[in-house]
Amino acid sequence: MALSRRDLIKTGVFAGAALSLPLHRVVSGQSALASRMPTSKLPKPFTVPFVRPPIAVPVRTTGTTDYYHIESKMISGEILPGFKTMLFSYGGSVPGPVIKATRGREVVVRHWNNLPAVHPTLGYEPWTSVHLHGSASLPQYDGYASDVTLPGQFKDYHYPNEQPARTLWYHDHGIHHTAENVYHGLAAQYHIHDPLEQSLGIPQGEFDVALMLSDAMFNKDGSLLFTLANQNGLWGDVMLVNGRPWPVMQVKRRKYRFRLCAAALSRSFGLSLDSGDPLVVIATDGGLMPAPVSTTSLRMMSGERYEIIIDFSKYAVGQRIVMKNTSPSGVNKDYVNTDKLMAFDVIGDDFDTANNNLPAVLNPADPVMHLREADAVANRQLLFQRKGGQWEINGTTWDEVEEDNFEFVLASPRYGDTEIWEFKNSSGGWFHPAHVHLVDFRILSRNGLPPMPYEVGPKDVAYLGENEVVRVLMKFEGRGKYMIHCHNLVHEDHDMMSQYEVIDPLQPGDDPMGTRATAYLPTTPPV
């Protein structure tokens, strides 16, 4: 179902939703709100146990394909001890279940929107569109923002999993309400494994841990605090890891692999250990780096993923190590405990010694890292800015796409071509995570200087800081229309999004809205 923002404004959906809220939930013009919860009611850091997300189980398998059924539904969960919080969930958990995929083996996920017809407090209709972020999916399965699934409908998403091993995540991408839906819980990780990654001896299984990093703020009754009137962003005063506030995790004296996903709506992170020891980065958004990179500080922005190794063998039993957060300066809003994320308590030496390695070489043959600037057939500039109160890319918004019957595009690269895209941030005082659907790219430079050492791997989100210019190199090996947008999800919802189209004269791309959601009925056959 295609929905125009201007149509929604005309029908009063946005205004009605704002007016329907209790007064304390709508604070027009503020870019950050502290919790209404008294500080005494918030948990002290490192008192809540760490929880791993569940692993999704297929409902059936064939020789080539694994099938999953995931229901988006409202639940009552406990984030703050002693309080119940209304959440949106994938399959009943927040974050949702991790899907484990094998390269070359297809996955089909039936996503059923069983959310209420109207959000209980914000007053909007919670339509959904599921984006598998980091997947080279066909356009109709990419989570195109205007291809929404209404409450009571379902859609089957097909994922070929032909890319190298990597950490992806699936999250809501429904037009104009992505931020609200993700904030309330519609986000989860998805891992592709392949023989190379499994042969390196890096941590697997129990010691391969998904971490969803986010933040939130709360009303006095424990409900999530959010305002539809805010167009700038949300910076909460409660830091969450896998939906738990400042959790503490027990670890053994060996290496662990942590799959970090920055799932906050707007906050960027600056991660470090209070011991001063390095984080060893082994993978970026698009998979393994050519070689590990040690860093004492790791900067992340919404949508980015990094895989890191932490070696706990150097610490004594009983020692506590804190993962700190020094949010990059600028638009981030910080509060009393936003400078810390979680803690690790070292508990002992009784562990499996398999897959406890950190090889000096990881994936030097990744084709993205071997793209050559000399092969680029075009240089394009994309300007991320705020003009007249409107978030824009090259002076356009998603309105142009909708009003042109989804034909308007910012760029039309040809299938198989390599191009250089230059992202420029001229909206002083703001940063923008620039996300390009479909492709992995290589960051060439940042303000004319080399990228950060830990960015030297395949990426699909570029951290675009204040007044920065980031040049990236990419090759287009899919066909059809795909989105490009700011991954500050509040900016995205307020139309800082457009699309491009990969043209192949011999084989047209599929329509991103060509496979529509249908009603979920008692007679609907299983996936």
370 class by beta-carbon count within 10 Å (0-12 exposed, 13-18 middle, 19+ buried): exposed
Alpha-carbon gap, residue 466 to 268, rounded angstroms? 13
Helix (H, G, I), strand (E, B) or coil at 313: helix
Fold of 205-348: Immunoglobulin-like (2.60.40)
DSSP designation for 469: E
Residue 230 has a pLDDT of: 83
Spans of all domains in the chain: 5-200, 205-348, 367-502
Alpha-carbon gap, residue 283 to 58, rounded angstroms? 27
Residue 229 has a pLDDT of: 81
Please answer whether residues 99 and 170 qualify as being in contact, where contact means their C-beta atoms are separated by less than 8 angstroms.
yes
What CATH code is assigned to 5-200?
A: 2.60.40.420
Alpha-carbon gap, residue 462 to 284, rounded angstroms? 11
162-171 tens-digit pLDDT: 999 999 999 9
pTM tops 0.75, yes or no:
yes
Task: Please compute Rg for the chain using Cα positions.
Answer: 22
Fold of 367-502: Immunoglobulin-like (2.60.40)
User: 5-200 and 205-348: same fold?
Assistant: yes
Give me the residues of the chain with pLDDT under 50, please. 1-33
What element of type H or E holds 401? Answer: helix 398-403
For the record, the structure tokens of 211 come out as: 């971490």
For the record, the structure tokens of 49 come out as: 């146990």
Residue 22 has a pLDDT of: 28
What are the Cα distances from residue 323, in Å, to 57, 66, 294, 331? 31, 36, 15, 22
Residue 329 has a pLDDT of: 67
The separation between the first and the last C-alpha atoms of the chain, rounded to the nearest angstrom, is 22
Please answer whether residues 472 and 462 qualify as being in contact, where contact means their C-beta atoms are separated by less than 8 angstroms.
yes
Q: What is the phi/psi pair of residue 513, to 5°?
A: -115, 30
Residue 195 has a pLDDT of: 98
| Three-point CA angle 479, 511, 432, nearest 5° | 70
Residue 29 has a pLDDT of: 33
Residue 368 has a pLDDT of: 98
